[in-house]
Structure 1
Amino acid sequence: MPADTTPAPPVKVASTRIIWTPEKETLVLQTLLELRLDRDLVAENGFNTTAYVKCAAVLVGHGHAAGKEQVKAKWTRIKGDYNIVKELRSKSGFGWDEETQQVLAEDNVWRGILDPLMTSNPKRYNRMKHWRDNSFPHYDLVSQIVGDTQAVGDNAFSSELGAEVVAQRSPSPLADEDHGEEGNDDENEMTQAPPRPVTPPSDHSEDFA
């Protein structure tokens, strides 16, 4: 009997798309916060592959399927979002509501920032406009990872470079990490956004600059 030459049916590959929830994002950030002090997990351009593998393993251990590339893409995206929110907070006329974790500004202030970008840089316009109506609850956690906090001693981090420095000695390779200002528009990534805050600006918000 001749051998059956009928080709085998194609193997169905599971989708690599991941729906990111605030819980998963926080777990990634908390893990990276712990890993950042391990010099063996730092490469010339930021965290190395091993760091992302470890982070993905933590997610899997909590029942969340994710791979190292997805973790890396998510970190790049969050870091880019952080940089934009940080920039907005530093601009004249902007404040920060600690309760809602949202940047605050009058309409005319927003127009002064956004209108010039509408035609000159539509992508940046969309990224900045997003934070007009949305909160960024990861701000404090990301600031600790990239080093935008005051610290002294051997484990101080530089405020802008996101690098571990030992006193005044050479900075770690994280100093050259790409901050991903425009983020990473991963086609295999979906983010489940938290509910938008509706609380009006409260008296304990930072004063406008």
Structure 2
Amino acid sequence: MPGFSQLSVSSQDSRGTKRKWVPEEDVALVACMVDLHNVGTFNTDTGFNVSYLNELERMLEIFLPHAMLKAKPNLESIIRTLKRDSAIVYDMLSEKDNSGFGWDKHRQLVVAEDTV
């Protein structure tokens, strides 16, 4: 699907050059975001509050000390990408206007009409 990207995507660092996210960083980022959500300190009704990026940066520094991931632009960029991609998947699998895609609950996989 055009515009759809993987979790391991490039984001810009402070020098404006692109960096490639590696699977280890993906796993650490998701684990830290889940921890932040579960603790509740940075969670609000509409999503994480403003200071969560700085806390994520601190947490990731512990798990990945040599990755040098910064709140801005690295974390901000990848989270924006995650939001966009999750919206694409949600729309693709939703019951309304799903463009021929769907979710098979029994087989636990995405299904598509033959024309897709």
Same fold (TM over 0.5): yes
Q: Which residue of 2 aligns with 1:106?
A: 113
Letter in 2 for 1:67: K
> How far is the alpha carbon of 1:35 from its aligned partner?
0.4
The answer to whether residue 87 in structure 2 is matched with residue 80 in structure 1 is no
Q: Which runs of 5+ in 1 are unaligned?
A: 1-13, 111-209
Distance 1:77 1:58, change over 3 A: same
- Asked if 1:26 corresponds to 2:27, the answer is yes
Q: Find the residue that maps to 1:37 and give its secondary structure.
A: helix
State the 1:53 CA deviation.
1.4
Partner of 2:55: 54
TM-fit CA distance, 1:42: 3.4
Deviation, structure 1 residue 83: 1.6
Match of 2:102 among 75, 87, 95: 95
User: Is this contact kept in 2: 1:52–1:72, CA < 8 A?
Assistant: yes
Q: Separation in 2 of the partners of 1:58 and 1:97?
A: 36
Q: Deviations over 1:21-51 (max 9, x none)?
A: 2321221111111101344313685323432
The 1:21/1:105 distance shift into structure 2, 3 A limit, reads: same
1:1-209 alignment to 2 at 5 Å? 15=15, 17-42=18-43, 46-61=47-62, 62=64, 63-69=66-72, 70-90=74-94, 91=98, 93-96=100-103, 103-108=110-115, 110=116
Q: Which runs of 4+ in 1 moved over 4 A?
A: none
Distance 1:96 1:22, change over 3 A: farther
Provide the aligned C-alpha RMSD in A.
Answer: 3.1
Contact 1:89 1:95 in 2 (8 A): yes
Structure number, greater radius of gyration: 1
User: What is the aligned length?
Assistant: 94
How many Å separate the matches in 2 of 1:44 and 1:33?
15
Structure 1 residue 74: Cα displacement: 1.0
Unaligned runs of 5+ in 2: 1-13
Counterpart amino acid of 1:58?
Answer: M
Q: Larger relative CO (CA 8 A, sep 6+): 1 or 2? A: 1
Cα separation, 1, equivalents of 2:37 and 2:60: 17
Name the CA distance, whole Å, in 2 between partners of 1:50 and 1:79. 18
TM-score by length of 2: 0.60
Q: Are the counterparts in 1 of residues 32 and 60 from structure 2 also a CA contact under 8 Å?
A: no
Partner Cα distance (2:43, 2:33) in 1: 11
For 1:60 and 1:107, how far apart are their aligned partners in 2?
46
Q: How far, CA to CA, are the matches of 1:97 and 1:19 in structure 2? A: 32
TM-score by length of 1: 0.37
